[in-house]
A and B are shown apart, each in its own frame.
Chain A
Amino acid sequence: MDASPPRGTGMPGADREFDRSRAVVVTGIGAVGPLGWSVESLWEGLIAGRTAVGPFDRFDHTGHRTHVAAQVDLAAEPRRARGKPRRISNADRFAVAAARSAVARAAIDPRDRRERAGVFFGSSTGGMFESEAYLAALLAPAPGHRRPPAASLLASQQNNGPGDAVARDLGVGGPVQSVSAACASGAIAIGEAVNAIRRGEVEVAIAGGSDSLCRLTYAGFNALRAVDERPCRPFRGDRAGLSLGEGAAVLVLESRARAEARGARPLAVAAGEAATCDAHHMTSPQPEGSGAAAAIRAALADARVDPEAIDFVNAHGTGTPLNDAAECAALMAVFGDRTADLPVTSTKSLVGHLLGSAGALEAVATILCLLHGEVHPMPDDGRSDANLPLRLVLGRPLRLARARHALSTSLGFGGANAALVFTRVLDQDHAR
């Protein structure tokens, strides 16, 4: 067994263009989710510890064993964010709105040097929700209704839909890459974007993920008995599964040098990234969390940040018994005795599991926590688990005014693991 972790960085001299020392910063963030259509509404909900998981009406779920999810209020979509209504899926709409918000915050126009801007996007189901309507009409037509449904419902079915929609909307002309690695998709897409900037492939990367609620995932996770009948309770002793959510999140990434040259104030440094695979099982995590631990170690090494320097963790934290246990084991393997004192939160406890965009939304949440000097809480619901000795942020925010480095983890089906390290930009960094 090869115990050496993968290097998350390039070997010096291996590629004349790949520059590990090229600092990559976040200059824009955007988010659409069950807490609203803006970063502000996301933060308000997160810091209040207000869960968006509850009854939902996106589709008929009467035959399922569970009846909760965290859905986006489609009627609340700001007029300025609306995409072309035809042939655009919910996932595309979320992605476009989040991307527009992120580039506006970054004060960039990707069209300015469009061939030097790229899109790196994760999705696990793309426009599946709309495709289901087509398939339902095709496979089980209503009595007397034999006319084939409009094929336009299928136009954006594939997982490249959200990333392509963003690229078209923003007029991007550089590389566009859609990643599907289940629940790690969004985080891996951000990692790919970081490396694209390091190698000089793009000057600006619009990176994130988008997924929408759909019957496929709701039925599938229910069939696996992986959905809690109540809002999910990550890492709690009575946790009984995840809660599904939907939405999109986007980061605008560029080199620190470029941001400084144009006078932009970075929100955070995207300091480290890494991805690994458990190579263990399609749906069950490796019980000791070895694959996740390898990803965390590699991301820390990539960021040149010691484990002791991490101030808090935005955990994958789904609320499923096996996943939370494996993730806790991974954190203990990396952080050792310090794990018990390391603040851990799970954004999924408030917005549900956004699947292919979870890693992206949690990256935004992590950056917001660094910016505000506060770690958002999880609902203080359920009982503690003696087997998971974590310092969970429960009930109210944890003030960490001096927090500098934070870790965000994403662990997906097929054993796909990703870890991202974000570093707060201090005032003296700006003064340099």
Chain B
Amino acid sequence: MRADPVITGLGTIGPGGQGRAALARALALGKPAVTEVDRAGGAHRESGARLAALVRERDLSRFIAPAAGRRMSFPSRLAVAAGRMALEEAGLGAADTGGARTGVYLSTTFGPGLFTELLLRAVFLEGAAAAQPFHFSECVANAPAAQLAIAVGARGPSLMLTQREAGPILAVARAAQAVREGRVDRALAGAVEEITPLLHALLDRFGALAGPGDGRVEMPRPFDRRRDGFLAGEGATVVVIEREEAARARGARAQARIGWSGAAFDPTATVSDWGDGHAALAGSLAAGLREVPGGARGIGAVVSGASGARRGDRLEAHVLRAVWSGDPLPPLLVPKAVTGEYGGGILGPALLALEGASFGPTPGFAEIDPEVEVAPHRGAASPAPERVLLTGLASGGGAAWLVLERTA
């Protein structure tokens, strides 16, 4: 039996609904579940983006008692609910997770935005005395990880990784290493994000979001020639990671084995955009994939972190083409076109891909960009891959990759 850790539970809450079935339906449909963002705050540009992939099914009372939920920010509630959903699927209860042998490794890009805004708004508009202690305690970035640890009694390491788009993969990779190296017996790992109207407006002002310019439909267009930004998405995804023999000993189903993981950095990136350092990133990825059975050819599908970002998708395409130089690229699944960017939108789809779930055509893709020469998945049925590669290239320079394998 391999020493690599396995995933035994998935909890996911996103724009498509709660749970893996809702996510599978959304992916099969191949259409982002978008919501018109509240623009009443006045921070939006008149001509800017209007849509986001927001969590619409916000009743989490199956996982959190209302009284407890009132003491949490929305991201904390999402993290606790997704964590409990994952534990439920893994067949683990409070007796299993309580104690020092369970760790929590989550990721976020922006942290609890609404509470941060509320606190600052109070200070700016009403004066310092108006600041609410409750808002402050929940606006630290690690609050969702801490609340999840408190909820399940996990007293191992609890941390939030903040590496933007590379964060969700990094969180799973670090958690898997902690399990593999015996620092914890099991880990809850994943990502959580909240998209507030203000954050949406700021991302739009930064030119990051797909917009409705020139009378076009506002949607992300990963790898498409006309792509102009991503769709902001919120939600939470948490997976349960444990050693394979421990999972088998208790009769749990191993959904995927966590194989190679790697991380790198592109120092040519600017603080808020992607760089041009595809050659070095491809070198790091290629070197890592040599440790994977079959090398790059052993990868049955790439679950790409592409999102429709102009430079981000270009960098992703150039890295992948360099690694698969001379060989055809594996099917390129782009789930963020459905789930939106952030909130761990890549983790659940990767597990579903391994199980042979159907993915609809990549929304927004119509025309190959001659600059990137990559076409994402167009909806054709294909056998379940033996092994998938998850990619996460972050604005600012971060990069992370992870290989998940089907278990026997």
Contacts and interface: CB of A to CB of B under 8 A. Distances in A.
Given A181-B158, A188-B157, A140 B267 contact: no
B181 A14 contact: yes
A309 to B, nearest CB: 23
Contact of B267 (A136, A168, A294, A412): A168
Given A180-B161, A294-B100, 20 more contacts: A6-B157, A14-B180, A63-B127, A123-B162, A135-B117, A161-B271, A167-B267, A173-B264, A173-B265, A173-B266, A176-B263, A180-B108, A181-B142, A181-B160, A188-B157, A220-B137, A223-B119, A223-B136, A277-B104, A413-B140
A222 B161 CA distance: 27
A75 interface: no
A4 B109 contact: no
B155 A291 contact: yes
A63 B164 CA distance: 34
Nearest to B184: A6
A150 to B, nearest CB: 10
A278 interface: yes
Contacts of A115: 264, 280, 283-284
A126 B162 CA distance: 10
Contacts of B246: none
A115 B270 CA distance: 18
Interface stretch (B144-152, B304-312, B372-380): B144-152
Given A1-B99, A172-B267, A173-B265, A414 B158 contact: yes
A195 interface: yes
Nearest to A6: B100
Interface in B68-84: none
Residue picked from A61, A182, A225, most chain B C-beta under 10 Å: A182
Q: Which 9 A-B pairs have the closest CB atoms?
A: A2-B99, A414-B146, A220-B136, A11-B182, A63-B128, A175-B263, A10-B181, A277-B158, A159-B162
Interface in B134-181: 135-143, 145-147, 149-150, 152-164, 170, 174, 177, 180-181
B252 interface: no
Contact of B269 (A114, A118, A168, A180): A168
Contact of A139 (B104, B121, B141, B283): B121
Interface string A153-166: 01110111100110
Nearest to A15: B180
B234 to A, nearest CB: 16
Given A10-B182, A159-B111, A279-B149, A177 B397 contact: no
Given A278-B155, A414-B143, A140 B150 contact: no
Nearest to B155: A279
30 contacts: A1-B99, A2-B101, A6-B101, A7-B183, A14-B180, A14-B181, A18-B180, A18-B181, A61-B128, A115-B283, A135-B117, A135-B120, A135-B124, A138-B43, A165-B271, A168-B397, A175-B400, A182-B140, A216-B139, A220-B135, A220-B139, A275-B156, A275-B159, A276-B100, A277-B157, A279-B149, A412-B142, A413-B146, A415-B158, A416-B158
A224 B158 contact: no
A11 B181 contact: yes
A89 B262 CA distance: 29
Contact of A277 (B116, B149, B394): B149
Given A182-B140, A216-B139, A14 B182 contact: yes
Given A1-B99, A174-B264, A215 B120 contact: yes
A273 to B, nearest CB: 10
A283 B183 contact: no
B163 A4 contact: no
B154 A277 contact: yes
Contact of A136 (B108, B124, B270): B124
B205 A176 contact: no
B150 A276 contact: no
A231 B3 CA distance: 52
Contact of B142 (A62, A175, A414): A414
A126 B142 CA distance: 13
Contacts of A14: 3, 180-182
Contact of B159 (A63, A160, A181): A181
Interface size bucket, A side? 35 or more
A175 B252 CA distance: 33
Contacts of A3: 99
Residue picked from B136, B138, B150, most chain A C-beta under 10 Å: B136
A265 interface: no
Contacts of B161: 177-180
A18 B174 CA distance: 13
Interface in A4-33: 4-11, 14-15, 18
A88 to B, nearest CB: 7
A251 interface: no
A171 interface: yes
A176 B163 contact: yes
B150 A180 contact: no
B123 A148 contact: no
A225 B128 CA distance: 12
B100 A64 contact: no
A400 interface: no
Contacts of A139: 120-121, 124-125
A366 to B, nearest CB: 21
A7 B160 CA distance: 20
Given A165-B271, A173-B280, A277-B157, A9 B182 contact: yes
A1 B100 CA distance: 9
A3 B135 CA distance: 33
B133 A282 contact: no
Interface in A50-103: 61-64, 87-88
A174 B137 contact: no
A62 B156 CA distance: 41
Contacts of B266: 173
A132 to B, nearest CB: 6
Interface in A105-145: 114-115, 118-119, 123-124, 126, 132, 135-136, 138-140
B200 to A, nearest CB: 13
B183 A6 contact: yes
A192 interface: yes
Contacts of B136: 216, 219-221, 223-224
Contacts of A216: 116, 119-120, 136, 139
B123 A215 contact: yes
Nearest to A178: B162
Contact of A87 (B119, B205, B262, B271): B271
A178 B163 contact: yes
B331 interface: no
B324 interface: no
A281 interface: yes
Contact of A219 (B119, B163, B269): B119
B155 A164 contact: no
B110 interface: yes
A11 B271 CA distance: 39
B137 A224 contact: yes
Nearest to B262: A175
A8 B108 CA distance: 25
Nearest to B271: A155
Nearest to A355: B140
A115 B279 CA distance: 12
Interface in A216-236: 216, 219-225
